[in-house]
Amino acid sequence: MNKRALELTVENMMSKPKGILAMDESSPTCGKRFAAINVEDSENNRRRYRELIVTSPDLSNYVSGAILYDETFHQKMSNGEFFRDYLNSIGILPGIKVDTGAKDFSNHPNEKITEGLDGLRERLKNYALLGAKFCKWRAVITINEGIPSEACILSNAHALARYASLCQENNLVPIVEPEVLINGEHSIEVCDTVTRATLKCLFEQLDLFNIYYEGIILKPSMVISGDNNKKRADVNTVAEMTINCLKEMCPQTLGGIAFLSGGQTDEESTSHLNKMNKDNSDLPWRVTFSYARAIQQSALNIWVGKDSNIKEAQLMLSGRAKLCSAASVGEL
Helix (H) or strand (E) holding 64: strand 63-68
Instruction: Compute the half-sphere exposure of residue 291: CA atoms within 13 Å on the CB side of its CA.
Output: 34
Cα dihedral 240, 243, 247, 250, rounded to 10, equals 150
Secondary-structure percent of the chain, ordered helix, strand, coil, rounded to 5:
50, 15, 35
CA distance 198 to 195: 5
CA distance 222 to 217: 15
Q: How far, in Å, are 16, 77, 123 from residue 209 at the CA level?
A: 30, 39, 20
Q: Which residues pair with 256 in a beta bridge?
A: 217
The type of residue at 298 is S
Helix axes 27-36, 43-54, angle to 10 degrees: 90
Q: Which of 178, 165, 331 is nearest to 258 (CA)?
A: 178
Is the CA virtual torsion 55, 91, 264, 139 positive or negative? positive
Enzyme catalytic residues: 177, 219
Q: Which of 246, 323, 321 is nearest to 287 (CA)?
A: 246
Helix (H) or strand (E) holding 247: helix 235-249
CA distance 64 to 97: 16
CB 318 within 8 A of CB 57: yes
